[in-house]
Amino acid sequence: MGFRKLLLLLCFILSGTAHAAPVILVFGDSLSAGYGLAAHQAWPDLLQQRLSASQQKWRVVNASISGETTAGGLTRLPAALAQYRPAIVILALGANDGLRGLPLNSMQTNLDAMITLIRKSGARTLLVGVRLPSNYGISYTVKFQQTFVTLSQRHHIALVPSLLAGIETRSELFQTDGLHPVASAESAVMENVWRELLPLLTAANRKH
């Protein structure tokens, strides 16, 4: 390969890298991983479709894992941030901590540490909460929900109060386990995220 061709190739590669679409990293558990659904049916994929339809140059990377707790998320977050270098992280963990009755102080500490790591990486955070079933007791469920509010206020970050808002009481919109939405409900889940994500997208687009 001649020098001129090599130079042109290098310029093409660098140009492609410089103009690569900024990444939105979805970092959650089975509610975001699309448990029981085809990949294209899960709300993160629907989010990518919404962005593409509106001609917004963002790439959604879904790094969610079924069964993930905040402790597991904290362990693997640094590598995910280094690999994908996201501009925005949708942090949607905590549900499994609550369902397993894990200490809420530990959950808050883990989420707090992840938000700090995200900020240090230069990315913005959209924190996503979820509500627990009422059979976990009023005291625990209220404290669980308040954890997300407390963190959003402490770090001055956007919050989706409940990922499943609007469908939580409709059993027909859940799979047989009663925990995971069916495919037809994923658009409503995506809309819950979209409402709080849009201002972050607008701010990031102005910045770039």
- pLDDT given for residue 3 in this prediction: 52
Cα–Cα distance, 47 to 188 (Å, whole number): 11
Is 30 part of the annotated catalytic residue set?
A: yes
| Span 15-20, average pLDDT | 53
- pLDDT given for residue 14 in this prediction: 46
- pLDDT given for residue 2 in this prediction: 55
Is 180 part of the annotated catalytic residue set?
A: yes
Q: In this structure, what token pair is assigned to residue 34? A: 């699309």
Nearest to 131 by CA among 184, 192, 75: 192
Q: Which of 19, 156, 177, 208 is catalytic?
A: 177
- pLDDT given for residue 4 in this prediction: 55
Mean pLDDT over all residues of the chain? Answer: 91
Nearest to 174 by CA among 161, 189, 153: 189
Q: In this structure, what token pair is assigned to residue 115? A: 């938000």
Q: What is the pLDDT of residues 98-149, one digit of tens each?
A: 999 999 999 999 999 999 999 999 999 999 999 998 888 999 999 999 999 9
- pLDDT given for residue 151 in this prediction: 98
Asked if 130 contacts 31 with a C-beta cutoff of 8 angstroms, the reply is yes
- pLDDT given for residue 177 in this prediction: 94
Q: What is the pLDDT of residues 147-190, one digit of tens each?
A: 999 999 999 999 999 999 999 999 999 999 999 999 999 999 99
Cα–Cα distance, 100 to 208 (Å, whole number): 42
Residue located via tokens 């972050």: 200
Given pLDDT bands bounded at 50, 70 and 90, which one contains residue 19? low
pTM: 0.90
To 10 degrees, what angle do helices 138-155 and 104-120 make? 20
Given pLDDT bands bounded at 50, 70 and 90, which one contains residue 39? confident
Residue 5 in this model has a pLDDT that exceeds 90: no
Q: Percentage of the chain surpassing pLDDT 90?
A: 83
* Helices within the chain (DSSP H only): 3-18, 30-33, 43-53, 70-84, 95-99, 104-120, 138-155, 186-207
Q: Which of 32, 64, 121, 180 is catalytic?
A: 180
State in words which class domain 23-207 has. Answer: alpha beta
Is 155 part of the annotated catalytic residue set?
A: no
Cα–Cα distance, 194 to 160 (Å, whole number): 9
Map 22-33 to HEC letters: CEEEEEECHHHH
Q: In this structure, what token pair is assigned to residue 190? A: 């995506």
- pLDDT given for residue 11 in this prediction: 46
| Span 40-60, average pLDDT | 95
Strands 158-160 and 88-92: what pairing?
Answer: unpaired
In this structure, which amino acid lies at residue 12? F
| Span 41-48, average pLDDT | 98
Q: Which of 29, 30, 97, 152 is catalytic?
A: 30
Q: Could you tell me the residue ranges of all domains in the chain?
A: 23-207
